[in-house]
A = this chain, B = another copy of it.
Amino acid sequence: MASSKKLTIDDIAAAAGVSKATVSRYLNGHRELMSEKTWERIKTVIGVSDYKPSAIASNLKKRTTNLIGVSIADITSPFSVALIMGISRCLDENGYTLLISNSGDSLEKEKNNIDSLISKGASGLLVNTSAYDNDFLIETSCKGVPIVLCDRKIRNYTLDVVTSDHEAGMRTLIQHLREKGYSRPVLFTQNCEQNSTRMRRRESFIQAVEEIYGYSPKEQEDIFIIDHSEGISTVSQLQRLKKSLKEDDVPAVIGTNSITTARAYHGISELGMSMPDEIGLCGPEDWDWSNELNWPYMIRPHVTTLKVPSTEIGYRAAQRLLQKLQHPDLLPEEISLHCVLNARESTQLKGK
C-alpha cells in the first residue's frame, strides 16, 4: 500500500548482485556488453520489482530530454486544438512527450512560458507565436535552442516554419467567387498587427482580387475590420457593406479565420440577409479532424471553406523539429502546405 521508498538503480543492482553500471547497460539495451546470464538475472529482478528509472536523473546526465515544449498563442481556438493533435501524434510515434503552455495571445506570457519550458529541459520548441515582432524568439534560437514555428511567422528573421499556403488558397477562393458570379469580394478581419497569418491573408486577398477581378481593393471599402473591443461589430460592418453596394453588386464575405467567418454568419442571419443569393460567405476551416462536428458543414446553407491542414501543420512541424534535433546544422526552411477548397452552398450563387 504505502510507497515504502522509491527504488533506485542501486537497489536493483544490489538485488541482482551486479553493479549499477551493468544495470544501466541493461536499461539502455546494450545486450552485447554482458553475458546472457547477467542479462536474464537483471531482467528477472526488474520484472518482479516495480522499478522505474528516473528520467530526471537520466536527463541531468545526458543533458537532453525527450520533452518537446509547445507554446500556443491561444489554446481556445480550434486551430490550436488541431495543431496540438498533429504534434501529439508525431511526438507520440517517436517517443517524445509534450510540454504544453498557453500564452493567451500575450507576448509577455509567451516569453515566460518559453523560459520555463527550456528550464524544464525541453530539447526543442514548437511555437505558435503570439507576436510578429519577436526578438525574444530570435535570441532564443540564436542561443541554440531548436525552434520550429507553427503557422505564424515572425518579422525579419528566418526560422523554420510550417504553414499553409495562404496565397494560393486565397487565389483559389477568389477565383471561385468570381466563377460563381459574385462581383464584390470583401474581407472581414480582426486587427492584423501582430499576427502574421492575418497579415498574409490580407495581403493575399488584395493580390488575388487584383489578379482575378482586375481592381485594387481599398482599405476602407473592401476590407472590414471587426473589433468587438472597440465596438465595431460584425453587424455594423455588414450594414456598412450593404449601404456601399452599387446596383447589381453581389457581395461575398471572406472571413479571415473561423471566428470571423462564424461571426459573419451570425451577422448575416441577424440582418435577415439571404445567403447565398443576396450575399455569399466563405472562409478558412481550421477544424480538420471531424466533419460531424464541423459547423461549416452542419449549418444551412453549408459554408464554403478553404480547408487548412491544421493537424498536418502540427505533424510536419514536429517532424521537422525532430530532424533538427538530430541535425542541428540544418538551415531553416519554410514548409508550406496546400489548402483545399470545399465549395458548398453558401457561395452557390448561380446555377453554375
Residues of A within 8 A of B (CB): 1-3, 6, 50, 52-57, 59-60, 63, 65, 67, 75-76, 78, 81, 84-85, 88, 92, 97-102, 115-121, 142-144, 258-259, 262-263, 265-266, 289-290, 292-295, 298-300
Contact = CB atoms under 8 A, between A and B. Distances in A.
A75 B100 CA distance: 14
B116 A97 contact: yes
A339 B78 CA distance: 23
Q: Max chain B CB contacts within 10 Å: which of A98, A100, A289?
A: A100
Contacts of A81: 81
Contacts of A54: 60, 119, 121
Given A3-B143, A98-B99, A101-B98, A292 B59 contact: no
A293 B52 contact: no
A99 B99 contact: yes
Contacts of A298: 262, 265-266, 295, 298-299
Contacts of A100: 84, 88, 97-100
A325 to B, nearest CB: 15
Given A3-B143, A60-B60, A295-B298, A117 B88 contact: no
Q: Max chain B CB contacts within 10 Å: which of A56, A60, A78, A88?
A: A56
B262 A293 contact: yes
A119 B292 contact: no
A276 to B, nearest CB: 16
Contact of A60 (B52, B56, B259): B56
21 contacts: A3-B142, A3-B144, A6-B63, A52-B115, A52-B118, A54-B60, A56-B65, A57-B60, A65-B120, A67-B120, A75-B84, A84-B100, A85-B102, A88-B101, A97-B99, A97-B117, A97-B120, A100-B100, A259-B290, A265-B298, A298-B299
Given A289-B76, A295-B298, A92 B88 contact: no
Closest 4 A-B residue pairs measured CB to CB? Answer: A3-B144, A55-B119, A3-B143, A295-B295
Given A75-B85, A99-B99, 14 more contacts: A2-B144, A55-B116, A56-B65, A56-B120, A76-B290, A98-B99, A98-B100, A99-B100, A100-B100, A259-B292, A266-B298, A293-B295, A298-B299, A299-B300
A345 to B, nearest CB: 13
A125 to B, nearest CB: 14
Contacts of A293: 78, 258-259, 262, 295
Q: Max chain B CB contacts within 10 Å: which of A55, A117, A258, A289?
A: A55
A59 B65 CA distance: 14
Contact of A55 (B55, B102, B120, B294): B120
Contacts of A76: 85, 289-290
A309 B81 CA distance: 19
A20 to B, nearest CB: 16
A235 to B, nearest CB: 13
Contacts of A258: 293
Nearest to A143: B3
Contacts of A78: 293
Contacts of A294: 295
